[in-house]
Amino acid sequence: MFEDDQEQRILRKTQGKRRGIYLLPNLFTTASLFAGFFSIVQGYGGNFSRAAAAIFVAMVLDSLDGRVARMTRTQSPFGAEYDSLSDMVSFGVAPALLIYVWALNQLGKLGWLAAFVFVAGAALRLARFNTMLEVADKRWFIGLPSPAAAALVAGFVWISHDNEIIARNVLWLAWAITLFAGLTMISNIKYYSFKTINLRKSVSFVAVAFLVVIFVLIAWYPALVLFSCFAVYALAGFVTTGWLFWKKRC
């Protein structure tokens, strides 16, 4: 009898711990979610540059929540699920609505279908990532990561709006970029994950100088530099996959 009572007390304590929510990493996730929501609001208000910039802010915050959780040992199933839902808003719904309101609505059915392909691609990409988390090769992402796809779409809107390019003059390019980003997310193209980089190791002076140059360029012209970087990353996956396939065949 006593042993049964003791087991029940231990079980209640364990369940209480499982229901706990760690505050610090989830604050970053909430901030990322807010940035995505802010992007939607600004996009509908016609503030397209702000809306695009908010998606990039969400990317920075999203990259921090997992690192903070690992550093403070506060990972939890709740945090993982919350992060995925936040990503769906910030990197799925927000960029699709942004480019739809800015340009794709002028294409009628073709426009909203392209935006939906992007949203569906982001949802499927996140679902596949979550289910393959334990078995996937940490060196590679399978399919374009949803933050990178969002950056490609938002960056195109940002650079076009900053240069006062009229949306109807680049309608089909906007349509093609949206479809490309959406379909590439659910492809089997391999993208380098950067997870193998050890930040605790020393690096050369050239590497530090290169990072300084990148930060200076981003500060000088954020729209152009960020869009260019993610466009190169999106195309680099095809080169990487082709090279790995050729290497395997040889």
User: What pTM, to 2 d.p., does this model score?
Assistant: 0.85
Q: Taking CA 249 as the corner, what is the angle to CA 133 and CA 125, rounded to the nearest 5 degrees?
A: 25
CA 129 vs CA 31, 71, 84, 114, 171: distances in Å: 22, 22, 10, 22, 31
What is the mean pLDDT of the segment spanning 218-230? 90
Helix (H) or strand (E) holding 143: none
Predicted local distance difference test score (pLDDT) of residue 138:
78
Highest mean pLDDT among 104-108, 125-129, 136-140: 104-108
pLDDT of residue 69: 77
The more confidently predicted of residues 100 and 21 is: 100
Please state which of the four CATH numbers 3.40.228.10, 1.25.40.10, 3.30.380.10, 1.20.120.1760 is assigned to the domain occupying 2-249: 1.20.120.1760
Is-contact 92 108, C-beta < 8 A? no
How high is the mean pLDDT of the chain? 86
Dist. CA 147–CA 151, nearest whole Å: 6
Q: Give residue 155's pLDDT.
A: 96
Round to whole Å and give the CA distance between 112 and 162.
Answer: 24
Residue 131: per-residue pLDDT: 85
Q: Is the pLDDT of residue 214 over 60?
A: yes
pLDDT reported for residue 14: 42
Q: What is the mean pLDDT of residues 203-215?
A: 78
Predicted pLDDT of residue 68: 79
Nearest one of 28, 31, 152 to 98, comparing CA atoms: 152
Q: Which of residues 179 and 243 earns the better pLDDT score?
A: 179
In the predicted structure, residue 7 carries a pLDDT above the cut 50: no
pLDDT tens column, 236-250: 999 999 988 887 777
Q: Where are the domains of the chain?
A: 2-249
- Quick check: 198 pLDDT over 70? no
